[in-house]
Amino acid sequence: MDATVDIAGPRGTRNMPFASLHRRPGDAPDVESILRPGEILTSFFVPAAGWKRRSLFLKVRDRVSYEFALASAAVALDLNDGRVRDARIALGGVASVPWRAIPAEAALKGKILDDASKKSAADAAFAEAQTYEHNAFKVDLGKQTLMRALEQAAAMEI
């Protein structure tokens, strides 16, 4: 949702897009963010926009207790008479970092939000997914989670 974060630490403060905070494992899988030693997040800013009023976060997990998501979807929709003017989609639990699903957003833009367009967006979101033996189930789970989140966001009254 074009959010930014403020970071404070021994070298002072800095501001950056939230989308740049997490890093892929690469050669240092134990380092999950770009935070330097001694730094902390001090604020999180989501700029105002009308389309952000229809947004939600859906988390799918094994147990009801607080637990890491097997899959999650954060969705924000701008709808006009059922047609998607704009969308933001981020996925969690399905990659090593929170994943912005730009191909899914593009697949929805200008379309009537129906079962076919939700499926098309889910397919686009996972088109380049690379799985391993023990996590291949997350592709189908992630698609179902995204489609359910889109349905729930569309049903919201604003």
Pair 17, 66 in one domain? no
Q: What is the pLDDT of residue 33?
A: 92
68 lies in the same domain as 54: yes
State how many domains the chain has. Answer: 2
User: Which structural domain range is residue 125 located in?
Assistant: 50-155
The predicted structure's pLDDT at residue 152 = 97
Predicted TM-score (pTM) of this structure:
0.86
Residue type, 151: E
What pLDDT does residue 26 have? Answer: 81
Read out DSSP for 98-145? -EE-HHHHHHHTTSB-SHHHHHHHHHHHTTT----TTTTHHHHHHHHH
- Those residues of the chain that have pLDDT short of 50 are none
- Tell me, what CATH number does 115's domain have? 3.30.390.50
- Look at residue 32 in the predicted model and tell me its pLDDT: 87
82 and 133 co-located in one domain: yes
pLDDT of 69 reads 87
Q: What is the pLDDT of residue 98?
A: 87
Helix, strand, coil % in the chain, rounded to nearest 5:
30, 30, 40
67 shares a domain with 26: no
Q: Are residues 40 and 55 in the same domain?
A: no
